[in-house]
């Protein structure tokens, strides 16, 4: 049903329905080496009431894989089979839709939601509001902690009919922009849809799993960082490889000076140096591995030596050297 801004018509209530898993949906980026897939899951239905609009949408559970050397990444389509309805009140004739709110449990300029032809970064807007490329919906982005909120003004566009809003939602996609996006789930939620009088709480959410194959360092945040401990060169500072004991109570480090250093770990994760063991022909360690039972430590060095050490209460003792 369509209506003009001077006169609106009724939209009959629709009975709730369930849609089950369908074929995978795939999106390709012309510049991307990666392919993102999205499987449709059960539809989420918020039926219209006599005072608020409703939305019926099938969200996706997608995956984006980030590999070393890639410069472009595919987008994941988030919602499909979308239907939007105005309220069913007999005295309202279906009020005009005015605002859509979307939240993302991520923040950062390195990732975007693709909405109505625009890439909207997950960072605060600095000009009050911007407008989407295709239909000119004005929008504002705010960030609180790791939650990004995008508020789209439906009323600001000529594409304000229920079918227009359904197309808008159906086109929403998530896309990482570079390889610094951390692994983990990204939840994109259709939070609410408002008409001229009332707001419908939607909470329809799609999920994208980011699988970053690159070792992305963690980001530090907070106004004050306190140094817990410092170690001189020759201990942790020159470590090439680091491994935890099976129970997490000790840390083993190896560098390029034929030395393995052992640190104990207390309940606050503070490190205390416990042992410094010199092993002949240890070389520059490329791999440092603790056995599953925690009783042995193995090192592989650039010189081709495989060295086994035994573990007793966290301390190491030399066992053998094998030439690879």
Give the pLDDT of the chain (324 residues) as one tens digit per residue. Answer: 555 554 344 443 333 333 433 344 444 443 444 445 556 567 899 999 989 999 999 999 999 998 888 878 889 999 999 999 999 887 656 689 999 999 999 999 999 999 999 999 999 988 878 999 999 999 999 999 889 999 999 999 999 999 999 999 999 999 999 988 988 999 999 999 999 989 999 999 999 999 988 865 555 555 444 444 545 444 555 667 888 887 788 888 887 778 888 888 887 778 888 888 888 888 788 888 888 888 899 988 878 888 999 998 888 998 998 887
**Distance in angstroms (rounded) separating the CA atoms of residues 89 and 190:** 23
CATH number 1.10.10.10 given to 241-323: no
**Distance in angstroms (rounded) separating the CA atoms of residues 94 and 195:** 9
Annotated domain spans of the chain: 25-86+96-212, 241-323
223-227-228 Cα angle (round to 5) = 125
Long-range contact pairs involving 294-297 (C-beta distance under 8 Å, separation at least 24): 294/245, 294/246, 294/247, 297/243, 297/252, 297/260
Q: Among positive and negative, which fits the CA dihedral 151, 156, 159, 161? A: positive
């Amino acid at each position: 049903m369509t209506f003009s801004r001077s006169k609106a018509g009724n939209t009959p209530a629709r009975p709730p329905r369930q849609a089950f898993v369908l074929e995978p949906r795939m999106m390709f980026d012309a510049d991307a080496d990666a392919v993102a897939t999205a499987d449709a899951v059960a539809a989420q239905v918020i039926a219209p009431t006599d005072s608020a609009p409703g939305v019926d949408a099938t969200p996706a559970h997608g995956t984006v894989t980030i590999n070393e050397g890639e410069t472009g990444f595919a987008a994941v389509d988030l919602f499909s089979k979308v239907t939007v309805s105005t309220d069913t009140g007999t005295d309202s004739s279906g009020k005009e839709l005015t605002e859509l709110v979307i939240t993302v449990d991520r923040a950062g300029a390195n990732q975007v939601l693709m909405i109505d032809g625009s890439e909207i970064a997950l960072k605060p807007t600095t000009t009050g509001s911007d407008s989407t490329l295709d239909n000119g919906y004005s929008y504002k982005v705010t960030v609180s902690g790791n939650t990004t909120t995008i508020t789209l003004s439906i009323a600001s566009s000529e594409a304000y009919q229920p079918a227009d809003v359904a197309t808008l939602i159906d086109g929403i996609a998530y896309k990482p922009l570079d390889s610094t996006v951390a692994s983990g789930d990204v939840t994109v939620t259709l939070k609410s849809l408002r008409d001229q009088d009332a707001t419908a709480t939607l909470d329809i959410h799609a999920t994208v799993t980011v699988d970053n194959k690159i070792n992305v360092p963690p980001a530090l945040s907070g106004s004050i960082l306190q140094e817990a401990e410092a170690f001189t060169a020759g201990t942790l500072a020159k470590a090439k490889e680091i491994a935890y004991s099976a129970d997490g109570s000790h840390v083993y480090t190896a560098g390029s000076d034929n030395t393995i250093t052992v640190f104990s770990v207390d309940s606050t994760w503070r490190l205390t140096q416990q042992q410094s063991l010199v092993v002949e022909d240890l070389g520059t360690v490329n791999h440092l591995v603790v056995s599953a039972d925690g009783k042995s430590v193995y090192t592989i060095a650039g010189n081709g030596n495989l060295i086994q050490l035994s573990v007793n209460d966290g301390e190491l003792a030399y066992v053998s050297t094998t030439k690879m």
